[in-house]
Amino acid sequence: MSIERIERRQGAALVAPAMLWTLAFFLLPFLAMIWMSLSHLEGREVVSGPGLENYQRIFTDPSLRRGIWVSLQISAVVTVISVILAWPLAWIIATRVPEKWRRLALLLAVLPFWTSYVVRSYSWALVLGENGLIMQSLIGAGLLEAPIQIMATRSATIIGFVHFFTMLLTLTIYSNLVQLPPNYARAAEDLGASRWQVIRLVILPLTLPGMVTGAFLTFVLCIGDYITPQILGGNSELTLPQLIMLQLGRRGDYPMASALAVVLMVLVTLAYAACARWLRMERV
Amino acid sequence: MKKTARAAILLATALVPVSAQAAQELNALIWCDHGDPALLEPFEKAHDVKVNIKEYQGTAEALTILEQSRPGDWDVMVIDAVDVGRAVDRGILAPLPADALPTADFFPELVMESHNSRDSVIYAVTDKFGYNTIAYDKTKVEPADMASLKALWSEKYAGRIGLYDYYLPMLGLVGIAQGVPTSALGAEKIETLRDPLMALKKNTKLVADVVGSQTALATGEVDILLGGGEFLTATLHAENPNLDWTIPTEGAALWAQSLAVLKDSGQPELALEFVKYVTSPEGQARLATSSCYWGMPANAKAGEHLSAEQKAVLRWDEQAEYLKRAQLYPIPSAEDDAAMQDLWTDMLQN
């Protein structure tokens, strides 16, 4: 047996566990979910597919269609706001905070990750409520006469998300910023660029990979999240994961839940394709 | 030798807790109130058993869990009384011996023979009930207004109302407000609820599950919670005695939960003992005041094990009048159920 053949076999043997794992715990369940999405509910019984009834309903039922639209809107807004907030924070930590304090600054930045996600959402419910800290402070300062409703609105959901994802994005952008050689900025300044031009024309483009990685993660985690809109959104409108949970918990409609989950996966895949192609994420 | 002896001692020490563990296990598919250690511990001690629990929220979820389990995985289950028939249709419940159940001591309305039995065979027994009605903060609304469901559609309380997120009792309540009894809520009537439901949504600040509803009422986010009742306010009573509930003149939705033994249970005798314990006066008192949520016990003799204060919170003395005015949840066919859920989803989404 040639050495090349032996090496090929050894390589296959090394890859095999990972392949089997992916096959057993991703590919097969995914195929099962697609098959289930092609089935349908008759009365209270699941009738095996194949059929496209569920997909037709998703795109013709206004409530389901709106769920997709609401999820896309919230995820897009959260991603944009989080990037806008995270980039300066990451830049300050990477360039303005003395090196000996950077670790502490990062630790403080990721502090929200230490708390349970559910507890954090309920905490925001208390902060954003009519009798919560924000409203009472604004009323106390004379900026408001009466409380306005934030809790149980889309704004509350977005605030809850942004609080969490700004931290995530700060980490990805920070890791990108600290890898940039300081000579780039110095060279630009030597060539007459102002500080703002250095940031805009040199540093910002070079941090795009980190920014897009974080933005993609934010979008994916946000569009698939059930807890935050459920607790903070007050069911004033339903997102895609909430609609999926309704099908599972209330109707026992596993085919429709699967179809909605497939739509969710398609949206995530499209987001990935857009990011990967546009900004060449393989560089990250 | 010393090492061997030490290892033997360590092994023996490690095994002690195992031998001290319960001799048997009982697997229960339940609502959260049945998971209260104060309820389970006396049974576990008396029968040297560990009760393993899994909580679920809707009947559809429970039936799916059972479908995906192996026969014998589950011994007992709690089920919405109006859904016992669905479980019987699937052939998953074991008959219960009538002479083992204390139904003679029950509030007569809560025996619910037509729901818990089929062809004179008993498949489940009611163990707790309560009302989906109006809960409110009596310092922020006029209690007299709460005597009618119509107040919820009035401008006066616009933006101060929360809705409990469970379509069955809520559509029942909207129907009751429109003069449609829950028992008459068939296909042709469901769509007539759309306009009043959407009008109610306009007055509503939020729609939330049990925890969210409790939080909203407790923090003053809403002043009124339609669909709430003792199950929402009782556990908050000590901290906030201003939270109250009432049954309006038009009526309210009656919820009732039943306990059943699974047909494939590997230990039907022990499962039956659990049912007997939970429906006994002592078990009923513990279940009624469960840390998860309170509710009236089906067994009237539980009153002997409840304090005067607990009975006051449960409105023990007013039950006869309340039961006359309350109407059982709607029991829709599969098609009507889907139509009701579609209507509820439309309300949430618009």
Q: What is the DSSP string of A28-95?
A: HHHHHHHHHHTSEEETTEEE-----HHHHHHHH-HHHHHHHHHHHHHHHHHHHHHHHHHHHHHHIIII
Answer whether residue B1 shows pLDDT above 70: no
In this complex, is the C-beta atom of A57 within 8 Å of any C-beta atom belonging to chain B?
no
Written as one letter, the residue type at B83 is: D
CB of B339 closer than 8 Å to CB of B190: yes
How many beta-carbon pairs under 8 angstroms link A with B? 86
Positions of chain A with pLDDT lower than 50, given as ranges: 281, 284
Task: Give contacts of A149 with chain B, Cβ < 8 Å.
Answer: 159, 205
Give me the sign of the Cα torsion angle A239, A242, A246, A252.
Answer: positive
Identify which of A44, A122, A131 has the shortest CB distance to residue B220.
A131
In this complex, is the C-beta atom of A226 within 8 Å of any C-beta atom belonging to chain B?
no
Contact B215 A250 (CB under 8 A): no
Q: Which residues from B are below 8 Å from A when comparing CB atoms? A: 57-58, 60-61, 63-64, 86, 159, 165, 167, 205-209, 212, 215-216, 219-221, 334-335, 337-338, 341-342, 345-346, 348-350
Residue A6 falls inside a structural domain: no
Residue A20 falls inside a structural domain: no
Nearest 10 degrees: Cα torsion B76, B82, B87, B93: 40
pLDDT tens, residue by residue, B332-343: 998 999 999 999
Residue in this structure with the two tokens 């209690």, named with its chain if needed: B143
Answer whether residue B73 shows pLDDT above 60: yes
Pick among A63, A70, A71, A123 to test the B interface (most B CBs inside 10 A): A63
Contact B349 A238 (CB under 8 A): yes
Answer whether residue B136 shows pLDDT above 90: yes
Answer whether residue B12 shows pLDDT above 90: no
Residue A10 falls inside a structural domain: no
Set out the domains of chain B in order of their start, with CATH numbers.
Answer: 2-129+256-317 (3.40.190.10), 130-254+326-349 (3.40.190.10)
- Could you give the number of structural domains in chain A? 1
Report the distance separating Cα A267 and Cα A52, nearest Å.
Answer: 18
Residue A32 falls inside a structural domain: no
Contact A236 B207 (CB under 8 A): yes
Answer whether residue B244 shows pLDDT above 90: yes
Identify which of A43, A129, A251 has the shortest CB distance to residue B221.
A129
Max alpha carbon distance in chain A (Å)?
86
In order of A151, B107, B126, B277, the CA distances from B104 in angstroms are 48, 8, 12, 15
What is the domain range of residue A256?
Answer: 65-283
CB of A224 closer than 8 Å to CB of A266: no
Which CATH number goes with the domain that contains A72?
1.10.3720.10
- Among chain B residues, the shortest Cα distance to A251 is held by B60
CB atoms within 10 A of CB B322: 20
Q: B15 pLDDT band (50/70/90 cuts)?
A: very low
Task: Give contacts of A248 with chain B, Cβ < 8 Å.
Answer: 60-61, 64
Q: How far is A129 from chain B (nearest CA, A)?
A: 6
Which pLDDT score is estimated for A249? Answer: 83
Report the distance separating Cα B139 and Cα B205, nearest Å.
Answer: 19
Contact A44 B86 (CB under 8 A): yes
B258 phi and psi angles, rounded to 5 deg? -120, 160
- Among chain B residues, the shortest Cα distance to A128 is held by B221
Strands B326-328 and B252-261: parallel
Task: Give contacts of B63 with chain A, Cβ < 8 Å.
Answer: 252
At a CB cut-off of 8 Å and minimum separation 6, what does A6 contact? none
As a whole-number percent, the residues of chain B with pLDDT over 90 amount to: 85
At a CB cut-off of 8 Å and minimum separation 6, what does B170 contact? B132, B163, B164, B226, B227, B253, B344
pLDDT tens, residue by residue, B275-284: 999 999 999 9
Residue A230 falls inside a structural domain: yes
Q: How far is B93 from chain A (nearest CA, A)?
A: 18
Report the distance separating Cα B63 and Cα B47, nearest Å.
Answer: 28
Q: How far is A278 from chain B (nearest CA, A)?
A: 34
3-state SS, B133-195, equals EEEEECCCCCHHHHHCHHHHHCHHHCCCEEEECCHHHHHHHHHHHCCCCHHHCCHHHHHHHHH
Contact B60 A126 (CB under 8 A): no
Residue A275, CB half-sphere, CA atoms under 13 Å: how many? 23
Residue A183 falls inside a structural domain: yes
pLDDT, average across residues B173-201: 96
Q: B6 pLDDT band (50/70/90 cuts)?
A: low
Out of B55-59, B107-111, B177-181, B265-269, least confident range:
B55-59
Residue A5 falls inside a structural domain: no
In this complex, is the C-beta atom of A44 within 8 Å of any C-beta atom belonging to chain B?
yes
Pick among A39, A40, A44 to test the B interface (most B CBs inside 10 A): A44
In order of A129, B65, B85, the CA distances from B91 in angstroms are 47, 15, 10
Would you say the ipTM is above 0.85? Answer: no
Q: B5 pLDDT band (50/70/90 cuts)?
A: low
- Among chain A residues, the shortest Cα distance to B213 is held by A234
B134 phi and psi angles, rounded to 5 deg? -110, 120
Q: B110 pLDDT band (50/70/90 cuts)?
A: very high
Identify which of B58, B63, B206 has the shortest CB distance to residue A234.
B206
Answer whether residue B151 shows pLDDT above 50: yes
In this complex, is the C-beta atom of A283 within 8 Å of any C-beta atom belonging to chain B?
no
* Of A166-170, A231-235, B207-211, B259-263, highest mean pLDDT: B259-263
